[in-house]
Amino acid sequence: MSRLASILSALILLAYFVAPANASPEKFAEVLERDFKLIQRSSVKTVTPVLEAIQASGFENAQEFLSNWQEKSLWFRKEDNRFFYVTTEDKKTYTLIDVVTGEKIGEAGKRDIKQIKPNSGVRKLLGSALVQFRLVSPDLAVRRASLESISRDAKPEHLPALRNAVETETDLELKTGFIQLERLLTMQFGETPEERIEAINSFAGDLNLEVRANLNPLLASKLEVASQLPEDANIARIIIPGETGIGSDASAISPSVLSWFSEVRPELDLDEAYLMLVKSGAAPAIVTKQERDNTIVKNIKDGMVGRYEIASLNTEERRDAAYSDLVLTGVAEPSPSRSDIEAAVSEHVFFARFDEPDSNVTDAVRNTLGQINASVRWNTFLDLALDAISLASIYFLAAIGLAITFGVMRVINMAHGEFIMMGAYSGYVVQQFITNYTLSIIVAIPVAFAVTFAAGVALERLVIRHLYDRPLETLLATFGVSIALQQLAKNIFGTQARPLTAPDWLDGALVINDVVSISWIRIAIFGLSILFFVGLWWTLNKTRLGLETRAVVQNPRMAASMGINPDRINMLTFGLGSGIAGIAGVAIGLYAKVTSELGSDYIVQSFMTVVIGGVGNIWGTLAGAGLIGIFQKLIESFNPSNTLAAQTYMIIIIIIFIQFRPRGIIALKGRAAEA
């Protein structure tokens, strides 16, 4: 019994708390009745108290009411001044829906009711009032959406609602978002400068893109010209025409600091500066060439302009002369001379005035942006380093197989790129049979190795073995194999790119912050190349095969006399090198499109890696790949939009590098080097 009593009392308690909410429709209806006139003929001046009253009523469907009002779907009945939403099918009779209860009340003719059409100012106010509702909506998804919509299109009137939402928000993640947005809004729209400066300072070192996007507009400035610098203005920079450029914090950069790498152009040249003077009415306009020619054409009489024949007006000097004749006769306006222009420009001061009047605010923004930019620079450098390492590991993967065959056998295998391509296509074919991407990649790696190992052994036995004493011809013969294989792949798989899909867990990127991120595939490739490096090092240095291989590298004849079969070693080495190319193909295919030209895209870089690194040594290949990767990214970073130029300069640097170390970074010494 006692339990029943306690439940009952709980229910009563609950009813007590819910009661005011139940009461709110009446309160809401009261507001509507009282403020009918203000709603019907709303204006920006009068609507605010109404909105406050509606909000204060706590009515749960007030949001619906406001949005209908805003979208002009609110009507009222003329006879009793009651508000309705309406639906109609034939535009003659309208079904009326009560705004408080949401029930159908009846029908009315077109004449009995009238639509309410708020003006755009009122609609704007309604919009921000709606935001307020959404920010505290019980639905988490609605709150999230409203956060996004505010951050897309922030307005000063959102600020109070946002501050309110920060207080009440319970979801931690959303609360962080609200706080950040509140700071951003305070920074732009805060009432006192102190409040704004505090918000600005709170962002020091923040790498968030949105912060930078919101800070920069605060430094917006307009170019102005005056005879003297105004004293009360918040000046961003004083411009010397033809000299100073514009810095990242809206200050002027003097020519001595003009960076050598990133081109900083003068903000205003002399002509542009003069044009500003003309616009401000402080100087007479320049007669452009077009205007000059038009005037001349207008004054043609009988094939003559003044004392000049038309046919003789085929140089700028003649036209100028003809024009100055016209000026003397008074039919044309004189144009200021060069020295006039220079004098006029030097008599005035050109400057940029901040849109923001308070210099304390702009100083704080400059300070904060400076700290952010310093942080961004470091992180960009880190990002660049990650990119370079990732590129280096791709080159390493592509080149290591080549380094083995080239290093051990002194054989240039031009078909190496096609082995990479075969590996990638093997992966593609495996994926046609195994639809689970994770499993298919795990299967594809040994399959690709097996396919290209077999191809490599076949190539060695059928072609290369017969050409050991003619290295240049090996190059050509393997090139023949390469074009045949490439065309064969085209015939089998077609010319369009085939997808080699990475498993889900390799999708996306490891995002460290808004500047530094690296895709998981690249991390996987990095891991793979480390694995290869360690594996090969172990094979070459700790196994019987490796020992024999190194012996053959150093002196094939001596090795043969020690009972090593160089033919067998050569065949296995070639197979191994080709097999590794196949695995590299799977890895490369994961992030590049698989086409028949996949291999030839990498072949020159692979050769370069081997040549730079020095043959016959996996440390050399590692060093070569590292050097090429780092250099290429470094060059790209000077001009990120132009990777073609980066590759061009890269190759030129390599050609020059070879001057100093013709045998690569890590060169074989002694007799082996002469082979």
Partner 1 sequence: MSEVTLTQPAPKQEFGGPLTRFLMRNPSTLVFLCLLAGFTIAITILSEGFGLGLISTSLVKTLGKTLCFCLVALAMDLLWGYCGILSLGHFAFFGLGGYMIGMWLMYARTELIIIKAGEAAALPMTPGEIHEAIGTQIFGVVGGSEFPLVWAFAHSFWAQLALVILVPGILALVFGWLAFRSRVTGVYLSILTQAMTLALALYLFQNDSGLRGNNGLSGLQNLPGLEETPQAVVSVWFLWASAFALGTSYLVIKLIVESKFGNIIRAIRDDESRVRFLGYNVEGYKLFVFVLTAIMAGIAGALYYPQAGIINPAEIAPIASIYLAVWVAIGGRGRLYGSVIGAAFVSLLSSMFTGGQIPNISLGFYTIQWVDWWLVLLGLTFVATTLYAPNGLGGLFDLLTSKKEPDDG
Query: Which positions touch partner 1 (CB under 8 A)?
Result: 293, 296-297, 300, 310-311, 313-316, 319, 410, 412, 414, 463, 466-467, 471-473, 475-477, 479-488, 490-491, 600, 604, 607-608, 611, 642, 644-645, 647-648, 651-652, 654-656, 658-660, 662
Q: Is the dihedral of CA 179, 185, 190, 194 positive or negative?
A: positive
Q: Which is nearer to partner 1, 182 or 460 (CB)?
A: 460
CB half-sphere exposure, 468, CA atoms < 13 A: 14
Q: Closest approach of Cβ 319 to partner 1, in Å?
A: 7
C-beta neighbour count of 2 within 10 angstroms: 6
Q: Which helix (H) or strand (E) holds 351?
A: strand 349-354
Helix, strand, coil percentages in the chain from 3-state DSSP, rounded to 5: 65, 10, 25
Q: Closest approach of Cβ 397 to partner 1, in Å?
A: 19
Q: Which is nearer to partner 1, 120 or 314 (CB)?
A: 314
Q: Closest approach of Cβ 386 to partner 1, in Å?
A: 25
Q: Which is nearer to partner 1, 229 or 462 (CB)?
A: 462
Q: Closest approach of Cβ 314 to partner 1, in Å?
A: 4
Q: Is the dihedral of CA 522, 528, 530, 533 positive or negative?
A: negative
Q: Closest approach of Cβ 581 to partner 1, in Å?
A: 17
Q: Closest approach of Cβ 575 to partner 1, in Å?
A: 19
Q: Which is nearer to partner 1, 119 or 648 (CB)?
A: 648
- Going by their DSSP bridges, the two strands 74-77 and 82-88 should be labelled as antiparallel
Q: Closest approach of Cβ 595 to partner 1, in Å?
A: 15
How far apart CA 344 and CA 150 sit, in angstroms, is 48
CB 175 within 8 A of CB 165: no
How far apart CA 65 and CA 71 sit, in angstroms, is 10
Residue of 69, 73, 75 whose CA lies nearest to 109: 75
Q: Which is nearer to partner 1, 477 or 502 (CB)?
A: 477
Residue of 488, 433, 430, 431 whose CA lies nearest to 455: 488
> Which ranges in 43-109 belong to alpha helices (H)?
44-57, 62-70
Q: Closest approach of Cβ 331 to partner 1, in Å?
A: 17
C-beta neighbour count of 326 within 10 angstroms: 20
CB 315 within 8 A of CB 293: no
**What are the E-state strand segments in 117-169?**
none
What are the CA-CA distances from residue 159 to residues 44, 150, 318, 576 (Å)? Answer: 19, 10, 66, 66
What are the CA-CA distances from residue 21 to residues 18, 179, 327 (Å)? Answer: 5, 29, 85
Q: Which is nearer to partner 1, 282 or 467 (CB)?
A: 467
How far apart CA 380 and CA 212 sit, in angstroms, is 15
How far apart CA 497 and CA 592 sit, in angstroms, is 9
How far apart CA 99 and CA 94 sit, in angstroms, is 15
Q: What is the largest CA-CA distance in the chain?
A: 123
How far apart CA 53 and CA 30 sit, in angstroms, is 10
Q: Is the dihedral of CA 43, 49, 53, 54 positive or negative?
A: positive
Q: Closest approach of Cβ 427 to partner 1, in Å?
A: 23
**What are the E-state strand segments in 8-88?**
74-77, 82-88
CB 348 within 8 A of CB 340: no
What are the CA-CA distances from residue 332 to residues 41, 290, 296, 299, 323 (Å)? Answer: 60, 14, 9, 10, 8
Residue of 427, 415, 480 whose CA lies nearest to 451: 427
Q: Which is nearer to partner 1, 467 or 592 (CB)?
A: 467
Q: Closest approach of Cβ 602 to partner 1, in Å?
A: 12
Q: Closest approach of Cβ 177 to partner 1, in Å?
A: 42
Q: Which is nearer to partner 1, 332 or 583 (CB)?
A: 332
Q: Which is nearer to partner 1, 482 or 621 (CB)?
A: 482
Q: Which is nearer to partner 1, 511 or 645 (CB)?
A: 645
**Nearest-10 crossing angle of helices 62-70, 120-135:** 150
Q: Closest approach of Cβ 332 to partner 1, in Å?
A: 15
Q: Which is nearer to partner 1, 415 or 580 (CB)?
A: 415
Q: Which is nearer to partner 1, 66 or 610 (CB)?
A: 610
Q: Closest approach of Cβ 67 to partner 1, in Å?
A: 47
Q: Which is nearer to partner 1, 449 or 574 (CB)?
A: 574
Buried b (16+ CB within 10 A) or exposed e, 426-463: bbbbbbeeeeebeebbebbbbbbbebbbebbbebbeeb
Q: Closest approach of Cβ 413 to partner 1, in Å?
A: 11
Q: Closest approach of Cβ 630 to partner 1, in Å?
A: 18
Q: Which is nearer to partner 1, 300 or 509 (CB)?
A: 300
Q: Which is nearer to partner 1, 362 or 570 (CB)?
A: 570
Q: Which is nearer to partner 1, 8 or 297 (CB)?
A: 297
Q: Closest approach of Cβ 480 to partner 1, in Å?
A: 3
